[in-house]
């Protein structure tokens, strides 16, 4: 069984990206499982706080999930044509201490996908993640791309994916990524 971890980079209740993650859990192909991780409760990174109090419990919980996963899916919003600060902050915490980078991220298959109200989906945010993923030593999956544009037209008011064509594309994306992870 291929174990995947999905993390939404949004804290909003009716987030399009959290809704995309929920839909992905339902559409995960046979032979794979997708668990949702959360960035909720992760404080802003401060080296003084880390030195005085250690790594917060919310970060430790996400680290355990990441350590158990064979592949990582980043469900990224796009803020001001780039990646969201709150999401990057969570990833920064996951790299503390620095000795955890290689065991958690080194060689781990990663895919980035996302939903946005704009007309280009999250193409710029997805591209902005590439230097981060390269620095962490991950193995990004480039065979598929999942950009959900005009998300307000494919999600309901509660952030649930209601568009059949988008669900089908998401299912195909997940099948491709799960196969990539399983082949490693």
The 10s digit of each residue's pLDDT in 86-107 is: 999 999 999 999 999 999 999 9
* Secondary structure of residue 38 in the 3-state scheme: coil
Rounded CA separation 144/165 (Å): 16
Instruction: Supply the DSSP symbol for 4.
Output: E
Partners of residue 115 on adjacent β-strands: 148
pLDDT of residue 31: 97
Other CB atoms within 10 Å distance of the CB of residue 54 = 12
pLDDT in tens, 102-151: 999 999 999 999 999 999 999 999 999 999 999 999 999 999 999 999 99
Give the confidence band of 52 by pLDDT, cuts at 50, 70, 90.
very high
Residue 184 has pLDDT above 90, yes or no: no
CATH class of 2-182: alpha beta
Domain layout of the chain by residue ranges = 2-182
Rounded CA separation 179/184 (Å): 9
Give the H/E segment covering residue 166: helix 164-182
Rounded CA separation 73/33 (Å): 12
pTM above 0.95? Answer: yes
Rounded CA separation 56/133 (Å): 23
């Amino acid at each position: 069984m291929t174990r995947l971890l999905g993390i939404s980079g949004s804290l909003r209740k009716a987030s399009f990206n959290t809704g995309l993650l929920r839909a992905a859990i339902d559409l995960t192909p046979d032979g794979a499982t997708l668990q949702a991780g959360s960035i909720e409760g992760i404080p802003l990174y401060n080296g003084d706080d880390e030195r005085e109090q250690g790594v917060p419990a919310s970060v430790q919980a996400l680290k355990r999930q990441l350590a158990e996963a064979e592949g990582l899916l980043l469900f990224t919003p796009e803020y001001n044509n780039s990646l969201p600060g709150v999401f990057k902050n969570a990833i920064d915490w996951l790299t503390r201490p620095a000795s955890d980078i290689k065991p958690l991220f080194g060689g781990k298959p990663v895919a980035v996908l996302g939903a946005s109200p704009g007309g280009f989906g999250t193409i710029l945010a997805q591209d902005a993640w590439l230097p981060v993923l390269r620095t962490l030593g991950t193995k990004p999956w480039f065979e598929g791309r999942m950009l959900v544009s005009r998300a307000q037209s494919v999600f309901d008011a509660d952030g649930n994916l209601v568009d059949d064509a988008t669900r089908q594309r998401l299912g195909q994306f997940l099948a491709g990524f799960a196969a990539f992870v399983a082949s490693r």
